[in-house]
Amino acid sequence: MSTPFVTPRTFTMSDVGAIAQEIVAALHGGDAVLLSGELGAGKTTLAKAIAAALGVRETITSPTFTLMNVYTTNHPHISTLMHMDTYRMERVEELAEIGVNTYMGEPSTVCIVEWPERFPDAWHRARTAHWFTVSGTGETRTIQAVTATA
């Protein structure tokens, strides 16, 4: 499987749905999408677009304060989306405390993690960890796959 966006790609916020479709096309159950970037770079906007591309029908909310949200998808091979934000976490143990291990690496689940660099070694349970960096502000952003590891 190849990870999209190995070469940085500039896009407008109106293109985020198409970007999400490309990412979803490369995903399998058990994968994690790790989104790095400064505040306001568009991580949550991209996460919402990925959720839509997976067929999530619920309103997607930022997990900044809830830490983790779980959604049912309408995708043929991926039934669950777990979306979390580690920005407010201080200890790696908090991941287990909120139940991340229930979802990370599960064959019918995709996990999206915002601010994964806070705990860079915590995503080893994923089948493949797709690291993306989103940068820019305003209407134009850039996305690049940093790594994909199994």
Contacts of 81 (CB under 8 A, 6+ apart): 50, 51, 54, 56, 70, 71, 72, 73, 109, 110, 111, 112
* CATH code, 140: 3.40.50.300
Domain residues for 92?
Answer: 9-149
Domain annotation covers residue 132: yes
| pLDDT value at 2 more than 70 | no
Domain annotation covers residue 2: no
Q: What is the dihedral of CA 145, 112, 115, 34, to 10 degrees?
A: -20
The tens digit of pLDDT for each residue in 14-44 reads 899 999 999 999 999 999 999 999 998 999 9
What's the number of domains the chain is made of?
A: 1
- The residues that bridge with 65 in the sheet, in sequence order, are none
Domain annotation covers residue 66: yes
* Backbone Cα Rg of the chain: 14
144 contacts 8 by C-beta, under 8 angstroms: yes
Share of the chain above pLDDT 90, in %: 73
Domain annotation covers residue 37: yes
Q: What is the pLDDT of residue 117?
A: 94
